[in-house]
């Protein structure tokens, strides 16, 4: 999913929930846009390069839908943890709203094109490492 689509949807969501959450509505961007930083972190660790430009090109230009990537924010364990934390700290719920929109958009694109995001098995670290 192109980052600009995540920005557009997160902006609309932030505007929509601003009357309820005030400045905390900006957390939508953290969950809806900035969680994609894990792609860059993966690139730094695996490719041993800090080049944002090369990382972006790598994620965009090459087929990486079947790659065995570990994305620390794109997994169900992170999402459930975020949901539980927001239950105890309700002002953090906008982060979960952004996260849900991000994940939904990623999954729609994965099932539509199967080339712009890692295989859904990457969406559960437990399944990936314990129930192989």
Residues that bind Zn ion (CB under 5 A): 36, 106
Compute the 3-state secondary structure of the chain and give helix, strand, coil in percent, each to the nearest 5: 75, 0, 25
Minimum CB separation from Zn ion for residue 77, in Å? 16
Alpha-carbon gap, residue 93 to 79, rounded angstroms: 12
Q: What is the DSSP letter of 30?
A: H
Q: In the complex with Zn ion, which residue's Cβ is closer, 36 or 76?
A: 36
Least distance to Zn ion, CB of residue 36, Å = 5
User: Which residue number has the CB closest to Zn ion?
Assistant: 106
> Which residue number, 98 or 106, has a Cβ lying nearer to Zn ion?
106
CB-wise, 18 or 116, nearer to Zn ion?
A: 116
Least separation in angstroms between residue 22's CB and Zn ion is 27
Give burial (CB, 10 Å; 0-12/13-18/19+) of 36.
middle
């Amino acid at each position: 999913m192109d980052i600009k689509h995540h920005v557009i949807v997160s902006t609309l969501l932030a505007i929509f929930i601003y009357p309820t959450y005030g400045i905390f509505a900006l957390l939508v961007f953290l969950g809806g846009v900035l969680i994609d930083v894990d792609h860059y972190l993966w690139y730094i660790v695996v490719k041993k390069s800090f080049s944002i430009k090369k990382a972006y090109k790598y994620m965009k230009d090459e087929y990486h839908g079947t790659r065995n990537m570990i994305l620390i924010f794109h997994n169900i364990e992170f999402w459930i943890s975020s949901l539980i934390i927001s239950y105890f700290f309700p002002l953090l719920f906008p982060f979960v709203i952004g996260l849900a929109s991000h994940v939904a958009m990623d999954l729609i694109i994965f099932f539509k094109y199967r080339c712009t995001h890692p295989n859904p098995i990457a969406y559960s670290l437990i399944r990936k490492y314990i129930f192989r």
